[in-house]
Structure 1
Amino acid sequence: MLRAALLLAVLLPVAAMAETVPEPEGYRGAPYAAPVPGGLAGATTVDAEEAHRLWEAGDVAFVDVLPREPKPGNLPEGTIWHERAHDGIPGATWLPNVGYEALSTEEERYFGDGLRQVTGGDPSRPVLFYCKQDCWMSWNAAKRALAMGYRNVLWFPGGADGWAGAGFPTERAEPLVRP
C-alpha cells in the first residue's frame, strides 16, 4: 500500500506537468523529444482514435515529420551507410526535417512544395501532422502550416507511437523525394 502511494506521489505531478506545458510564442527548439502542450492555437488536436477515424474516411492528408539523419559527409570511402528504417501511418507523406525550430530556405521550399502536393494546392484541405509521442517536430510543422495559410490543420501529438500503441496498422515509410 505504501509503495502504491509513493508511486502515485511521483507520477501525479509528472502527469499534471505534461498537461500544463505552455505553447511557446514562436517555434520550439531542442530538446524536441519533450512533453508537448495540450493543443496548438488555430489547429485541431486529435487523439489516436480520432486520427484513425479520419484516416479511414480518407479525406485528410497525413504528414509525418519525423527527422531523418543525413548521411555524414566525412565517411571514409567504401563505408556502407544504412538509412534507419521508419514505420509510419499507411498512406502518410513523410516530409523529414521540416519540424525544426528554424528551417533553411531549401527546407522551407521542400515543406511548402510537399504541402501543396498533399493538399492539391488547396489551403482549406484538412492536413494532419504527426511525428512521435511527445515530439515538438509535429507541433512546429503544424504551426508553420498555419503561418503559411493552411486553414484546416490537425495535430496528432500521440504520433506514430500512439497510433501503433492503439493497435492500428503501420507501414515502412519513404520520404517524399526532393526535387
Structure 2
Amino acid sequence: MNRIAAALVLVAAMSGRALAQVPEPQEYRGEPYNAPVPATLSGAEVIDAERAVELHADGVAFVDVYPRTTKPAGLPEGTIWREPRHKTIPAAIWLWDTGYQRLSADEEARLRDGLHDATSGDPAAPVVIFCRADCWMSWNAARRAVAMGYTGVKWFPGGTDEWQDALGSDLVTAEPVAP
C-alpha cells in the first residue's frame, strides 16, 4: 500500500468513515472480523437501517450471527460464571458462531437449520443477516446463505449498531439457538 492510500485508511479509521473501497473477497474473511466491510455481496441485497426497519415491519426473518461468549477455560472450581448478555434486534434469531471464516460441523448445521427454520424452508424467502457494524461475520454468513441457494438474502452490514442509531435503544436480550 502506498503512503497516500495508507494515510486515507488512517484518516478513515480516525473519522469513523470508510473512505477507501473495500474489495469483495473471493473467499470467506478471517480475523480481524471487526474491520471495514465491502459495500457489496454478490447474490445478496445490501440494505441500510431504513430498509431493515421496513423489512422488520413486514415480518421478514432477521438472523443475528454475532459470536457467543464461552465460559473461560481454567476457572477455579466453584467459580460462578455468567454468560454476558447479547442484545439484538427484536424477534431476531441468534445463530451464534456462524459467521467465522471456517465453521465446525455443528456451526454449519446451526446455520443451515436456522436458515431453514427462519425461511420456513423457502430458499426464495427474504431473510436479513446481520451482526454489528463493520463485522465480517455477517458478510461471511450471508455469503454462505447465498452459496446454500438462498435467493432472498438481505445483508445488513450496519447491524445492531446502525439499528440502534436509527431507532434509539430498541434492542432486546438475545436467546441463543440451542447447539
Taking structure 2 as the reference length, the TM-score comes to 0.88
1:16–1:167: structure 2 CA closer, same or farther, 3 Å change rule? Answer: closer
Report the Cα offset of residue 11 of structure 1. Answer: 4.8
Residue 30 of structure 2 aligns with which residue? Answer: 29
1:16-44 per-residue CA deviation (whole Å, 9 max, x = no partner) reads: 75551001101000000000000101100
1:17–1:167: structure 2 CA closer, same or farther, 3 Å change rule? Answer: closer
How far, CA to CA, are the matches of 1:177 and 1:147 in structure 2? 24
Structure 1 residue runs of 5 or longer lacking an equivalent are 1-8
Residue 119 of structure 1 aligns with which residue? Answer: 119
% identical aligned pairs = 53
Residue 108 of structure 2 aligns with which residue? Answer: 108
What is the 5 A alignment of 1:42-121?
Answer: 42-58=43-59, 60-121=60-121
How far, CA to CA, are the matches of 1:172 and 1:13 in structure 2? 31
Residue 5 of structure 1 aligns with which residue? Answer: none
Secondary structure, counterpart of 1:53 in structure 2: helix
1:109–1:12: structure 2 CA closer, same or farther, 3 Å change rule? Answer: closer
How far, CA to CA, are the matches of 1:12 and 1:138 in structure 2? 20
Alignment check: 8 A CA contact 1:65 1:95 kept: yes
1:39–1:14: structure 2 CA closer, same or farther, 3 Å change rule? Answer: farther
Report the Cα offset of residue 73 of structure 1. Answer: 3.7
Report the Cα offset of residue 142 of structure 1. Answer: 0.2
Residue 177 of structure 1 aligns with which residue? Answer: 178
1:109-132 per-residue CA deviation (whole Å, 9 max, x = no partner) reads: 111111111111111111110000
RMSD: 2.0
Secondary structure, counterpart of 2:108 in structure 1: helix
* Structure 1 stretches of at least 4 aligned residues deviating more than 3 Å after TM superposition: 9-19
Report the Cα offset of residue 10 of structure 1. Answer: 3.8
How far, CA to CA, are the matches of 1:82 and 1:16 in structure 2? 35
Residue 6 of structure 1 aligns with which residue? Answer: none
How far, CA to CA, are the matches of 1:160 and 1:16 in structure 2? 17
Alignment check: 8 A CA contact 1:138 1:157 kept: yes
1:37-81 per-residue CA deviation (whole Å, 9 max, x = no partner) reads: 0010110000001000110111x2100000012113422211111
Aligned residues: 169
Alignment check: 8 A CA contact 2:24 2:38 kept: yes
Structure 2 residue runs of 5 or longer lacking an equivalent are 1-9
Alignment check: 8 A CA contact 1:18 1:37 kept: no
Secondary structure, counterpart of 1:110 in structure 2: helix
Letter in 2 for 1:101: Q
